[in-house]
Chains A and B, each alone.
Chain A
Amino acid sequence: MSEEIYLDYAATSPVDPAVTAAMLECLQHEFGNPSSQHAAGWRARRLVEAARAAVAARVGAQPEQLLFTSGATEANNLALKGVLRRQRIARPHLVTSRIEHKSVLDAARALETEGVEVTYVETQADGSIDPLRVAAAIRAETALVSIMHVNNETGVIQDVGAIGALCRERGVPFHVDAAQSVGKLPLELAMAPIDLCSLTAHKLCGPKGVGALYVAPNTLLAAQLHGGEQERGLRAGTQATHQIVGMGRAYELADPQTEAPRLAGLRDRLWRELEAIPGVRQNGAPARRAAHLLNVTFPGVDGESLRFALGGVAVSAGSACAADSPEASHVLTGMGLSDTLASSSLRFSVGRFTTEAEVVRAGATVVGAVNRLRSVAKSAPAWCSGSGF
């Protein structure tokens, strides 16, 4: 095994061996189509429904309130397009924020081309969304508000309880992208003022290619895929039984009550290693950040070079879904960082299999790499450190 230290759990996570075992068992022995009316099909259907119950139990929902999808990206698309395309008014309105995941922002932009008006609420400097700003954006035509629970780049936890309550007061459905929070923070969807919630499996040691959308009772949604009555007619296509089984097992294993304190300890240990670097700063309000994420700016160092210099330490410059983009992170610039500082930032994220020895070793590697890159740019002008504009 290589010396690689994996600190990119916010992008994806290694599959837990117990999940792999459940999936293998399914692949090897339960190949039936869950919609088939014979014994193999009925067995597969029971596996799907057992997984649905496991996911529902983890997020405090009823099993029939969950639709399996190919992941959170599809769930986000289904939530936004499913609600907005059902509207019968000429120019329905969507409220979201500038720091959402690309799958929400790109879906919103697609809807704009269809005549939907979109209000993008600005973030505050600490990465949080002010619920009152969201409420102020709601108007008579507003058909949906969509705000993520935990930001995928900074880990900042949004006050979805307050935002949802304000949406309920105005009678507007509220969608939450919980891809980064599920398994890290307790979720009680049935008790929360949330109407739609996107879930994924691969961020919590489950397989890629499967997710779910929670749909509260009386939430009107138009199907975006056609060709079958699976998932209550809202998501056509043969259910990927083994993937769904894997998701169910991953949700059984993920326990925020036990895992979050350990992850917070690892994150804080890593920060103690990094804070010795002159000028280094954390992005996002420390008091309201998810346990697994740490976003750090290293002034005077190009983030892409730093990432490359880290060699065997796997981290991200930002969202993995925008990692090939030369653009600076829209989340960090939305929080007021200059393009240069945003490009000098890295996201570290720990997870189930991260050890303290790994974060200590990673911290030392980062310190060495930053010092080396800064020494190569010793005479660089002030703008390279994010000042001088």
Chain B
Amino acid sequence: MEYGSATARYFEALERAGELPNGLPGLVSGEAEDRTLHVWVRFQLQLQGGIVRLARFQVFGCPHTVAAASKVAEWLEGRSEADARALDARAVCAELGVPVEKLGKLLRIEDAVAACWSNGRDGNDKGR
């Protein structure tokens, strides 16, 4: 399988890969997986004043999944919570050229971000 230049760029950069420090104000986290697709994704977001200030991710999966998680993290930072909640990972990742058979993996990225909202905040969101 060949990968496009955008996929290569996000896979290489991984600028927002990692974790946010425990106890960070406004920290929310969520994860999702699909063992049959060999994909696991975790997102951590810092929400302050209704804005996603920071987004970090961890991911186990194929290059498209890794690049897509990286791209979604980039997209999330600076968005309002309302915009972020409306994440359409397939639209955000359109430029990555993810093949149709891998679209299910992008849904796990959406699920992980959605889990951030449903898991709620850790009670430290003093910035809102």
Chain B, residue nearest A339 (CB): B38
Residues of A within 8 A of B18 (CB): 375-376
Contact indicator A340/B1 (Cβ below 8 Å): no
- Min CB distance A137 to B, Å, is 32
Chain B, residue nearest A378 (CB): B58
Residues of B within 8 A of A340 (CB): 35, 38
Cα distance A323–B62 when bound, in Å?
A: 14
A21 interfacial by beta-carbon distance below 8 Å:
no
Binds B, one of A114-122, A254-262, A301-309: A301-309
Chain A, residue nearest B37 (CB): A326
Contact indicator A379/B66 (Cβ below 8 Å): no
B122 interfacial by beta-carbon distance below 8 Å:
no
Contact indicator B11/A381 (Cβ below 8 Å): no
Residues 319-346 (chain A) with a chain B CB within 8 angstroms: 323-324, 326, 339-340, 343
- Min CB distance A317 to B, Å, is 10
Contact indicator A343/B63 (Cβ below 8 Å): no
Cα distance A32–B11 when bound, in Å?
A: 52
**Binary interface profile of B, 1-30, with partner A (CB < 8 Å = 1, else 0)?**
101000010010010011100000000000
Contact indicator B19/A379 (Cβ below 8 Å): yes
Residues of A within 8 A of B17 (CB): 375-376
Contact indicator A384/B40 (Cβ below 8 Å): yes
Contact indicator A308/B60 (Cβ below 8 Å): no
Sort chain A's interface into a size bin: 20 to 34
B61 interfacial by beta-carbon distance below 8 Å:
yes
Known interface pairs A308-B3, A308-B11. Does A379 touch B58 (Cβ–Cβ under 8 Å)? yes
Residues of A within 8 A of B19 (CB): 378-379
B90 interfacial by beta-carbon distance below 8 Å:
no
B59 interfacial by beta-carbon distance below 8 Å:
yes
Known interface pairs A308-B3, A377-B59, A378-B58. Does A383 touch B35 (Cβ–Cβ under 8 Å)? yes
B42 interfacial by beta-carbon distance below 8 Å:
yes
Residues of A within 8 A of B63 (CB): 304-305, 308-309
Known interface pairs A309-B11, A377-B40. Does A302 touch B33 (Cβ–Cβ under 8 Å)? no
Chain A, residue nearest B35 (CB): A383
Cα distance A118–B96 when bound, in Å?
A: 44
- Min CB distance B28 to A, Å, is 15
Cα distance A339–B40 when bound, in Å?
A: 15
- Min CB distance B32 to A, Å, is 11
Cα distance A384–B66 when bound, in Å?
A: 14
Cα distance A346–B14 when bound, in Å?
A: 23
A300 interfacial by beta-carbon distance below 8 Å:
yes
Residues of B within 8 A of A110 (CB): none
Cα distance A245–B3 when bound, in Å?
A: 37
Cα distance A326–B64 when bound, in Å?
A: 13
Cα distance A372–B12 when bound, in Å?
A: 10
Residues of A within 8 A of B38 (CB): 302, 339-340, 343
Using a CB–CB distance below 8 Å, which chain A residues touch chain B? 300, 302, 304-305, 308-309, 323-324, 326, 339-340, 343, 372, 375-381, 383-384
Given contacts A305-B11, A340-B35, A379-B42, 7 further A-B contacts (CB under 8 A): A302-B61, A323-B1, A376-B14, A376-B17, A376-B66, A381-B40, A384-B60
- 6 closest residue pairs by CB, A with B: A377-B60, A308-B63, A384-B60, A304-B62, A380-B60, A376-B17
A/B interface sample: 13 pairs, CB < 8 A: A300-B60, A302-B38, A302-B61, A304-B63, A308-B3, A309-B63, A323-B1, A326-B101, A340-B38, A375-B18, A378-B58, A380-B58, A383-B35
